[in-house]
Amino acid sequence: MTKRRNTRELLVDEGVTAFLARGYEGVGIQQILAGVGVPKGSFYNHFASKEDFAREVIDAYERRYEMFVTDCFSGDAAPLEQLRDYFARLEEQMRDAGASAGCLYGVLSQTSAPHSEVLRECLKQAFARWRANLIKLLEAARAAGDLTFATDIGSLADAIIDSYEGALVRMRAEGSIAPVSRFRAVTLERLLGAAG
């Protein structure tokens, strides 16, 4: 027997898709409601405002992302192979996602953070958790001898995130997965090679 999803979950799921495709400012509450097929009152029964809704969307996206990270970063492969596999799997997700391809953190950082201190703080924390996950993996790679002990692991994690997010911006602008593929094949490998 399948579990019936409640209205709140449906609205949040629609929010993830809509915000990824059109950004914070490009999405109205009416569009979210129409996508789910519920009346306007249903939205305000669950969320105090669009900003409150966006916080819930970020939380839901992060829960999904954490499950993905746990799956990618567990197993017996060497840490840098796990990292490469992680970005290969992200690239595959981008290829499959079509118009909603991208990173919600990056999209909302560009479209909401300049206007909402609350969302800026949520996104700052989300990026910090992503960075912490990468640092843990890179520290394991250093302990395994795959990165030098002189490597500034925090700066390397930052450079990886910054480069990947830049590739996603170009991907959206060009309507092509090529920038993400290039990040994986060139940028990531050069960053790791310089630290190796």
| Tens digits of residue pLDDT in 14-56 | 999 999 999 999 899 999 999 898 888 888 889 999 999 999 9
Least Cα distance to 15 among 4, 41, 49 occurs for 49
The confidence score (pLDDT) of residue 75 equals 84
Q: How many CB atoms lie within 10 A of CB 124?
A: 12
**What does pTM read for this prediction?**
0.90
